[in-house]
Amino acid sequence: MVVEDRPARLAVGVVGAGRVGAALTAALGRAGHHPVAASGVSDASRRRAEALLPGVPLVEPRAVLESADLVLLTVPDDALPDLVKGLAETGAVRPGQLLVHTSGRFGASVLDPALRAGALPLALHPVMTFTGTAVDVERLAGCTFGVTAPEELRMAAEALVIEMGGEPEWVAEEARPLYHAGLAIGANHLVTLVAQAMDVLTAAGVAEPGRMLGPLLGAALDNALRSGDAALTGPVARGDAGTVAAHLAQLRAHAPGTVAPYVAMARATADRALANGMLKAEYAEALLGALADEGTR
């Protein structure tokens, strides 16, 4: 394998000491590697580095690459291609250097400019949300990582994930955008749905909507992960058109910004409930009619 004669313990640098970069670098430090340099522009990044990477100097990106055997590139997705291209063009990339990005969207091919400069490209995407605090390092235990790399580097990529406490899941290069879309639907959209539910409950006079929703949503998530569509409950899955119409009337009056998302999710739920036989056709017509009426307003 390409990296067989590399030292077991690596000098680690991170370009972009944001929530993800600081946590992964700290996790690699716990595994016995040596964080040696970080770069961060914002005040928040600098404070985060001081908290999670004490004693690690903050330097320019080029200096990070000069001092590290393993470099984490943890910048926003849209910034990653230009960063890689720029580092390669300036000669900052060294042959044999492990270059790791954490973007869910991209596979290893985004690192091609660095590959041509002799770097060893790895895409390691942690399937986790990050807070920017020490709790993130603990949450990596058992966290799945979407792994993409050249076949000859697959074992090295998976070993790094395991050292951080994670579980590697191989994702083909061409499947990365679809993989990332699935995660965004599940995590990002969930936050929006929960926040909207809390807003509606607040409008209904509930003093602690988070406390009310916690047990319900926890059970719903657990059931959905275990049983998929079989976990569907509620008026849409039952075909209770009258209840759905009442919901929409109240939402129009008190939370109009939630009407369109409610209709979109209700239609998607109805489609899935119909497909698995939970929603009977004789009830679906009235339900879909109520949702269609709302769409014409």
Pick the CATH number of 11-171 from 1.20.1250.20, 3.40.50.300, 3.40.50.720, 1.20.1300.10: 3.40.50.720
Q: Are strands 70-73 and 120-126 parallel, antiparallel or unpaired?
A: unpaired
Q: What is the pTM of this model?
A: 0.87
- In order along its 297 residues, the chain shows pLDDT tens digits of 344 444 468 999 999 988 999 999 999 999 999 999 999 878 888 888 888 999 999 999 999 999 999 999 999 999 999 999 999 999 999 999 999 999 999 999 999 999 999 999 999 999 999 988 889 999 999 999 999 999 999 999 999 999 999 999 999 999 999 999 999 999 999 999 999 999 999 999 999 999 999 999 999 999 999 999 999 999 999 999 999 999 999 999 999 999 999 999 999 999 999 999 999 998 999 999 989 876 555
Residue ranges per domain, the chain? 11-171, 178-295
